Amino acid sequence: MNSPAPAAGPGPRERLILLTLAALLAGAVLWLRGGLQPQAPLEALARRSPELSVALANGRPTIVEFYADWCEACRSMAPALDAVESRQHERLNVVLLNVDNPRWQPEIDRYDVNGIPHLELFDAGGTTVGRAIGARSRAELDSLAIALMENQPLPVLAGVGATSSLAEQPPGEASPAGSQAGPRSHG
């Protein structure tokens, strides 16, 4: 009785087809994940950012961005913020805090973050001097950075306002209209 011959493995042609398919699949995965770049600007900036407590105590003004990985406005603003940080890293801190990380919930509550991107602006002494709500252009980020570094008033931009303590305001007196951007104004 003749037994059937064992099935032969793939021939040279089948191996070539499998190899080609594997290469195409690997290429597609690389393309979908953003190529060979290890990180997009937002992730790279977040990884380089100093700890908030260190930034607020090192004698340099600080821009803190509350962001999320899924936030398109945050992602589109990242290259401009990265450029500011790269040019001014000796004179200015840029700190990114991800709103999806529960570690930052106390800061989210403290700075009343209700929308992103949300920038908190600090002077060289670590005191909050203002905030910017919504996406910012490179020119706007540059003007905010310059104002902080030169200890000048913040530029007049939509969604940017100075912050002040409620205790500084006389009792019963309303705050001036337009003095502070609302958390949902988004520029």
Tell me if 153 is assigned to some domain.
Answer: yes
* Catalytic residue flag (residue 74): yes
Q: Count of domains in the chain?
A: 1
Tell me if 3 is assigned to some domain.
Answer: no
Tell me if 187 is assigned to some domain.
Answer: no
Domain enclosing residue 118, as ranges: 41-165
Residue of 42, 52, 64, 71 marked active site: 71
Tell me if 154 is assigned to some domain.
Answer: yes
Q: What is the DSSP letter of 151?
A: T
* Catalytic residue flag (residue 65): no
Tell me if 181 is assigned to some domain.
Answer: no
Tell me if 117 is assigned to some domain.
Answer: yes
Tell me the β-bridge partners of 97: 66
Tell me how far apart the alpha carbons of residues 102 and 167 are, in angstroms, rounded to a whole number. Answer: 29
* Lowest-confidence region among 10-14, 29-33, 181-185: 181-185
**Mean pLDDT across 141-149:** 96
Tell me if 100 is assigned to some domain.
Answer: yes
Cβ neighbours of residue 77 closer than 8 Å, sequence gap 6 or more: 117, 135, 136, 141
Report the mean per-residue pLDDT for the chain.
82
Tell me how far apart the alpha carbons of residues 151 and 46 are, in angstroms, rounded to a whole number. Answer: 25
**CATH number, position 132:** 3.40.30.10
pLDDT digits (tens, 9 = 90+) for 106-136: 999 999 999 999 999 999 999 999 999 999 9
Tell me if 178 is assigned to some domain.
Answer: no
pLDDT of residue 172: 45
- pTM, two decimal places: 0.67
Question: Between 137 and 25, whose confidence is greater?
Answer: 137
pLDDT digits (tens, 9 = 90+) for 56-69: 999 999 999 999 99
pLDDT digits (tens, 9 = 90+) for 68-90: 999 999 999 999 999 999 999 99
Residue of 45, 63, 74, 97 marked active site: 74
Burial label, 60 (beta-carbon count in 10 A; 0-12, 13-18, 19+): buried
